[in-house]
């Protein structure tokens, strides 16, 4: 199916539908969460299908705290080039279109909000640009670029350009009723049916042509993300990416230290590949990745080197700092949650501490096999035992033995050492 069908073909489809008395088609896509590459691909695909079907309108119900600038621009560019009208609907009640969501809403041909929703706070910091680490000149450039972009969108759709600039420079926000009063959105709609009723008869400019929305009796088709989109959206979560990274590294390290286990290596490799995909969709600070890897190296070194816990403490500090630095964004929704970091760090440290404790216990435990395993075992003398030797019964076996003192036959003895295949024993009082 082609992405951009000719405008003439779309108009012929609409005329044919009207001639046959078919109800106009409305495609409704509900998207929520961080604006990410997965969301951008889904919205683009919905608009593509709407163009191919000659839909009368595409409605994007939006509830987002913001997200990545490239993904936002991809959605905006597709809306601006769409050959069907697109409505952005900030919903449900209590939802928001902050940051990147503000740009998407202002780019739509029709902009509506549900009651008790908000719009704004579009400063570039919230777009994952990491501008908190920029110098003043670079920060000013990024801000000015965002201002010119959002003002251009507002001007194209005949909306409040001054407020659009304030949304970027001052992180201004508006609730639904105020957004209508300030000419930022077109109207407030309590639900999708109310939106279609209020959009009926409006004239919008689509691909350079004025189009009157005829939505009476419209047939609404819901666009829901498939299992692939849901899976990829889950992988784009910073918390999921962090957990996959830890599982992948731990699995591979376990496989390398225990060759032939197979399962840890397979699971670790799979988790690491998925983690790389997840991190590719996020603003990653590779210093954080390096600190996490260094922490695991310190944990492994603790098993091999006696440091009295210093390596473990260093590993915990390194992993904690790496976890905090992993996602390079000042936006809270783009960072790894403390509720994930703390259990992950503690569990990883506890695992390696447990392994170290087992190793120390194994080193201090009395040997149970070989010559050293005989030391401390008790039995009795079968014959008299002295410097010249004799026989003893120890551990259910008959042994040649000798003693520095004379031990009569039948006396209890204890092994104190070995001389090749002969035991050194003493009398037990």
Task: Give the catalytic positions in this structure.
Answer: 99, 141
Question: For residue 56, which phi and psi values (nearest 5 degrees)?
Answer: -80, -25
Place of tokens 């996959």: 244
Rounded Cα distance, 403 and 111, in Å: 100
Under 8 Å CB-to-CB from 51, ≥6 apart: which residues? 3, 4, 5, 10, 82, 83, 84
Q: How many CB atoms lie within 10 A of CB 58?
A: 27
Angle CA 314–318–321, to nearest 5: 140
> Is the distance from CB of 28 to CB of 61 less than 8 angstroms?
yes
> Is the distance from CB of 92 to CB of 112 less than 8 angstroms?
no
Provide the H-helix boundaries in 20-160.
Answer: 37-53, 69-81, 100-107, 136-156
> Is the distance from CB of 160 to CB of 111 less than 8 angstroms?
no
Under 8 Å CB-to-CB from 144, ≥6 apart: which residues? none
């Amino acid at each position: 199916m082609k992405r951009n069908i000719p405008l003439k073909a779309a108009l012929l489809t609409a005329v044919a539908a009207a001639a046959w008395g078919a109800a106009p088609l409305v495609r409704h896509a509900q998207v929520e969460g961080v604006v990410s590459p997965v969301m951008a691909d889904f919205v683009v695909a919905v608009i593509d299908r709407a163009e191919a079907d000659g839909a009368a309108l595409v409605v994007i119900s939006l509830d987002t705290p913001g997200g990545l600038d490239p993904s936002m621009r991809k959605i905006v560019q597709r809306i601006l080039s769409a050959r069907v009208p697109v409505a952005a609907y900030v919903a449900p009640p209590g939802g928001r279109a902050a940051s990147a969501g503000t740009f998407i809403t202002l780019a739509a041909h029709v902009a509506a909000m549900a009651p008790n929703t908000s719009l704004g706070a579009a400063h570039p910091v919230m777009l994952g640009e990491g501008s908190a680490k920029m110098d003043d000149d670079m920060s000013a450039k990024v801000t000015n670029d965002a201002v010119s972009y959002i003002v251009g969108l507002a001007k194209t759709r005949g909306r409040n350009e001054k407020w659009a600039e304030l949304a970027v420079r001052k992180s201004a926000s508006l609730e639904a009723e105020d957004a209508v009063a300030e000419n930022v959105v077109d109207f407030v709609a309590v639900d999708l049916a109310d939106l279609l009723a209020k959009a009926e008869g409006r004239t919008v400019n689509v691909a350079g042509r004025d189009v009157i929305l005829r939505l009476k009796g419209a047939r609404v088709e819901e666009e829901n993300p498939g299992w692939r989109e849901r899976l990829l959206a889950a992988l784009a979560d910073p918390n999921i990416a962090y957990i996959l990274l830890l599982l992948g590294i731990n699995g591979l390290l376990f496989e390398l230290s225990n060759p032939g286990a197979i399962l840890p290596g397979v699971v670790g490799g799979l988790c690491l590949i998925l983690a790389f995909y997840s991190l590719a969709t996020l603003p990653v600070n590779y210093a954080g990745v390096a600190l996490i890897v260094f922490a695991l190296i310190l944990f492994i070194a603790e098993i091999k080197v006696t440091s009295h816990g210093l390596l473990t403490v260093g590993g915990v500090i390194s992993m904690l700092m790496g976890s905090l630095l992993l996602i390079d964004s000042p936006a809270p929704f783009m960072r790894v949650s403390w509720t994930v970091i703390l259990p992950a760090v503690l569990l990883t440290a506890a695992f390696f501490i447990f392994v170290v404790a087992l190793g120390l216990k194994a080193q201090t435990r009395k040997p149970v096999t070989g010559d050293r395993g005989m030391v401390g075992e008790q039995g009795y003398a079968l014959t008299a035992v002295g410097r010249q030797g004799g026989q003893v019964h120890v551990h259910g076996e008959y042994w040649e033995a000798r003693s520095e003192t004379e031990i009569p036959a039948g006396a209890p003895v204890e092994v104190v050492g070995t001389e090749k295949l002969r035991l050194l024993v003493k009398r037990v009082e």
